[in-house]
Chains A and B, each alone.
Chain A
């Protein structure tokens, strides 16, 4: 009897693997992997870190086949299928939004979830801003929101030409996927209850990008298996950049409880 091969509707995500040990998947934030090496190094000490690179980030241009974060979520499900078993999935910022999208669709191959500075949800009056308007706020305001204070923003003068290109692409991809509805999927909040695996919420104490008071609570109250949230002192929205060791330690501590 002839067997049929499933048609791959969208191309496979690019990926990078670092370290040895039990596998974890890391879904990157707005800047892709720029400025995240210290965090990945920490994590890779005890894990094989599998890092899919979303289209538009890294060395890739945007791909018209990916019209929304939802499309990337399905490509992540393909990746999880290929890894097999059940692995922890960690996401930061827009990557945490993506991780939540993936997990609401299926937790079959997800052992646990770590949502670091998650975005992707919205509630409140139309005039209430949930997240700083990256395209309307002054650059120094954005920088302070992301890093806790402007002085903690990474030094861009040291970037190579290739890294500047990566940064330009990353910011373009963030605008493309996050423009409207701004940084969220209106359906996501109502789907969060489907995330049936243990989930850790991590936020930066000085996250200025998320404007809503107790934003993490929106996730926490809907997640059936939310662990006690962790707030990392002094960290901005980009926790993996501003507090890489503390974040890696919080993740390891959490994974130790769910293994």
Chain B
């Protein structure tokens, strides 16, 4: 089934002028944060998620640390409230930063509790994390990938072992009596996701047949990621993976009219525009493979410093963001057509993860956008595009030649 997920990073949007701080990540003092406003913001964000549940939409949450852009430093906390606040929505943690936490068994426990509390509505992402989480999490940037996969393997084993404790003495993690209570609700495990923007990690996700989420890669970027996943699946001789294994995160706002939708889209741009990160937190030795970082050091030395992967989106005209598949906005018809075109271009996918709120966008406007999406875009898209596409699984290139 095609699922539409709603998402807010739970930002604290009342920021001083950008010139007044060095970095929105890691070093911004919490004196900027007013806890009473913070309380009101949490009310709003959880109200938005409750509304999404009532509208038949699903819910995604994430976590970041030491930042005003996402005041949600622990996915299990948001999920535990949502497990009680909601009834039908599936709850996706995208994701748990495995390499930044030194307690995989604790992560397995937290997620198991949410899975049972929500009666099996949990989907669990394992995320490697962006470079500016390294100082915030105080984790060695070297060997993150190895730690990540050892932690993932340990968590899956912890969820699927039901005959008492097992021993784990790995390179990075040691736990001699692993015995997770409660047992996860879903059998054998909640669906597992890997959010990434790296084709290397996409291949590793395909090797385990975990679900793939890619964020703001644009239409061409998403096609590349999805094709990498599909190709790796085929290479390994697996059955073609269902479209439900592929997800895409974009900014989404639906209005009654195009103008109303575009006005909402302009408010969503806050997310792109507010991400000032000091260079030392962007470029951490060991985070990237040596050869790649060597090329970055060279271009930096030659006067072309590295920038955020979404840097080019910050000042792009709205139309370019709409055309490129970064923002989906307009009237219900416009958004439907944009989504259909994206679906065809990327060769089909099964999860549309919508950042529906950012900056100071209020409850009413977000609720209305979600309602228009859930009543006028989603049912039509499901029947006329997703269910009508009986081929289900094919590469973007093949899909386009079929459509042509």
Residues of A near any B CB (own CB < 8 A): 61-62, 64, 133, 135-139, 142, 156-157, 159, 161, 164-165, 167-169, 171-172, 174-176, 179-180
Contact = CB atoms under 8 A, between A and B. Distances in A.
Given A135-B284, A157-B302, A175-B285, A168 B141 contact: no
Given A168-B294, A172-B285, A175-B141, 5 more contacts: A61-B290, A135-B135, A136-B280, A168-B293, A175-B142
A176 B294 contact: no
Most buried by A among B135, B140, B171: B140
Contact of B294 (A136, A138, A161): A161
Contact of A180 (B140, B280, B284): B140
Contacts of B295: 164
A210 to B, nearest CB: 19
Given A135-B134, A135-B135, A171 B285 contact: yes
Contacts of A135: 134-135, 141, 280-281, 284-285
6 contacts: A135-B285, A165-B291, A168-B290, A168-B294, A168-B297, A172-B141
Given A62-B142, A136-B26, A176-B140, A161 B298 contact: yes
Interface of B: 22, 26-27, 134-135, 138, 140-143, 171, 278-281, 284-286, 290-291, 293-295, 297-298, 301-302
Chain A binding surface SS class:
helix
A164 B140 CA distance: 22
A119 to B, nearest CB: 17
A168 B280 contact: no
Nearest to B278: A138
Contacts of A136: 26-27, 135, 280-281
B290 A165 contact: yes
Nearest to A170: B285
A176 B290 CA distance: 13
Most buried by B among A142, A168, A179: A168
Contact of A175 (B284, B298, B301): B284
Contacts of A133: 135
Contacts of B135: 133, 135-136
Contacts of B143: 176
B222 to A, nearest CB: 30
A175 B297 contact: no
A176 B286 contact: yes
A64 B284 CA distance: 20
Most buried by A among B26, B27, B294, B302: B294
Given A157-B301, A179-B141, A172 B22 contact: no
Contacts of A62: 142
A156 B297 CA distance: 9
A70 B22 CA distance: 37
A159 B280 contact: no
Given A135-B280, A136-B280, A179 B140 contact: yes
A176 B146 CA distance: 13
B294 A179 contact: no
Contacts of B298: 159, 161, 164
A139 B280 contact: yes
Contacts of A164: 294-295, 297-298, 301
A159 B301 contact: yes
A179 B143 CA distance: 12
Most buried by B among A61, A136, A169, A171: A136
Nearest to A171: B285
Contact of B293 (A137, A172, A174, A179): A172
Contact of A167 (B26, B27, B286, B294): B294
A180 B293 contact: no
Most buried by A among B27, B281, B290: B290
B247 to A, nearest CB: 32
A165 B294 contact: yes
B290 A172 contact: yes
